[in-house]
Amino acid sequence: MAKTPETEHPNKAFGWAARDKSGVLSPFHFSRRENGENDVTVKILYCGVCHTDLHTVKNDWGFSYYPVVPGHEIVGIATKVGKNVTKFKEGDRVGVGVITGSCQSCESCDQDLENYCPQMSFTYNAIGSDGTKNYGGYSETIVVDQRFVLRFPEGLPSDAGAPLLCAGITVYSPMKYYGMTEPGKHLGVAGLGGLGHVAVKIAKAFGLKVTVISTSSNKEDEAINRLGADSFLVSSDPRKMKAALGTMDYIIDTVSAVHALYPLLGLLKVNGKLITLGLPEKPLELPIFPLVLGRKMVGGSDVGGMKETQEMLDFCAKHNITADIELIKMDEINSAMERLAKSDVRYRFVIDVANSLSPP
């Protein structure tokens, strides 16, 4: 008999999955592999809800492979470790992020850039190294090779710390790589959602001047008084946008939908850098004139390697940086996804997995 998700591995598992592009999630029985020599089995406590989860359950990018159990901002407790596992022991609090596999021998892997390995595998909607499908963190447990498991620093709370495992590293890595950490320089953060609000906090810890560029005028007070931004621009306000022309050294663009780059490029100084992190479902138009005339650049970045992810967690623990979260129960996920689609979240949903996920 052909193996089903429920029978392909020895250990029964339970989570919530989307079955088609309606994106609606519902209870799902599947299985997890036996804990191997290099593996850590994690009992999941909390899992953040990234916009990538929403893009994937809705098949925005055309490569969703159902059923999809999303979730790649996972904090939990190690309940089993393989005999070669040196980094963790049972009972440790650990994190799992966006990637759970890579070849471990290519140039990228050798440079701790597993995220750019050609054989990198994502935590969900991907095939793992054993040839079976990966299911993510909207579930009770996960089994992960120790290389892709993070030590979760003591000072970080499990719930509000969980979003750092994707949102945190996704904004931290380009800040480091593109040299966007010089105190006093001016950073624009476009899109104040999960990634954007963590970008504001990390940028302030680096000593940058931060301006949020948002479509939502109702986020201004929070952006400044709660998140610590220095100023706030509503992108639909032509007067304010004009006054800010040529004032920013860098911009981090976290917008999840198709949008115009032209107004953002105008905000940059000569030699300014626009780093795009959002993954809209269609390509963006690239205006060449402002790039050429101002020697500006546009770049991208994909999460971060495991070493840098650990560095980011330690940095956030040291600077008391966590996400602002709305804690939800597993069965509230569908309405949370609807709100996320409308940019109506302050600023990350996190699922209280351990206290709200139980098989029917």
Where on the chain is the footprint of ligand NAP (CB under 6 A)? 50-52, 55, 166, 170, 191-196, 214-216, 219, 254-257, 259, 277-279, 301-303, 340, 343
Q: Which is nearer to ligand NAP, 93 or 219 (CB)?
A: 219
Question: Of Zn ion, ligand NAP, none, which one sits near residue 278, judging by CB under 5 to 8 A according to partner kind?
Answer: ligand NAP
Burial annotation 4-32 (CB, 10 A radius, 16+ → b, else e): ebeebbeeebbbbbbeeeebebeebebbb
Say if residues 254 and 199 touch (Cβ distance below 8 Å). Answer: yes
Least distance from C-beta 139 to ligand NAP, angstroms?
20
- Residue 298's SS3 state is strand
According to CB under 5 A, which one of 113, 143, 166, 192 is a site residue for Zn ion?
166
Binder of residue 32, out of Zn ion, ligand NAP, none (CB less than 5 to 8 A by kind): none
Supply the minimum distance, in Å, between the C-beta of residue 193 and ligand NAP.
2
Smallest distance, ligand NAP to C-beta of residue 235, A:
7
Contact between residue 127 and residue 101 where contact means Cβ atoms under 8 Å apart: no
CB neighbours (10 Å) of residue 214? 24
**Binding residues for Zn ion, how many (CB under 5 A)?**
3
Residue 255 interacts, among Zn ion, ligand NAP, none and using kind-specific CB cut-offs from 5 to 8 Å, with ligand NAP
Please, which residue, 52 or 102, has the CB nearer to Zn ion? 52
Q: Which of ligand NAP, Zn ion, none binds 48 (CB below 5-8 Å, type-dependent)?
A: none
Nearer to ligand NAP, 86 or 218 (CB): 218
- Give me the least distance between CB of 177 and ligand NAP, in Å please: 12
Among ligand NAP, Zn ion, none, what does residue 204 contact (CB within 5–8 Å per kind)?
Answer: none
189, β-bridge pairs: 212, 252
C-beta of residue 192 within 8 angstroms of C-beta of residue 216:
yes
In the list ligand NAP, Zn ion, none, the entry touching 193 (Cβ below 5 to 8 angstroms by class) is ligand NAP
Closest contact distance (angstroms) between CB of 167 and ligand NAP is 6
Dihedral sign of CA atoms 160, 161, 166, 169 in order: positive
Q: 221 with 198: CB under 8 angstroms?
A: no
Smallest separation, CB 302 to Zn ion (Å): 10
Q: Is 52 in the site for Zn ion (CB under 5 A)?
A: yes
Cα separation values, 340 from 151, 227, 243, 343, 350, Å: 29, 19, 31, 5, 12
Put residue 4 in one of left, alpha, beta given phi > 0 → left and psi -120 to 50 → alpha.
Answer: beta
**337 is an interface residue for Zn ion by CB under 5 A:** no
- Interface with Zn ion, residue 198, by CB under 5 A: no
Interaction partner, residue 259 (Zn ion, ligand NAP, none; CB < 5-8 Å by kind) = ligand NAP
CB-based contact 343:216 (threshold 8 Å):
yes
Residue 128 binds which of Zn ion, ligand NAP, none (CB < 5-8 A, kind-dependent): none
Give the C-alpha distances (Å, rounded to integers) separating 329 from 49, 58, 161: 12, 21, 17
Interface residue with Zn ion, options 25, 50, 156, 298 (CB under 5 A): 50
Is residue 183 a contact partner of residue 206, using CB atoms and an 8 Å limit? Answer: yes
Report the residue number whose CB is nearest to Zn ion: 50
CB atoms within 10 A of CB 89: 10
Contact 354, 139 (CB under 8 A): no
Specify the amino acid at residue 67: P
Q: Provide, for the chain, the percentages of residues in helix, strand and coil under a 3-state DSSP scheme, each rounded to the nearest 5.
A: 30, 25, 45
180 binds Zn ion (CB under 5 A): no
Among the candidate windows 46-54, 263-271, 286-294, 352-360, which touches Zn ion by CB under 5 A? 46-54
> Which residues of this chain interact with Zn ion, rule CB under 5 A?
50, 52, 166
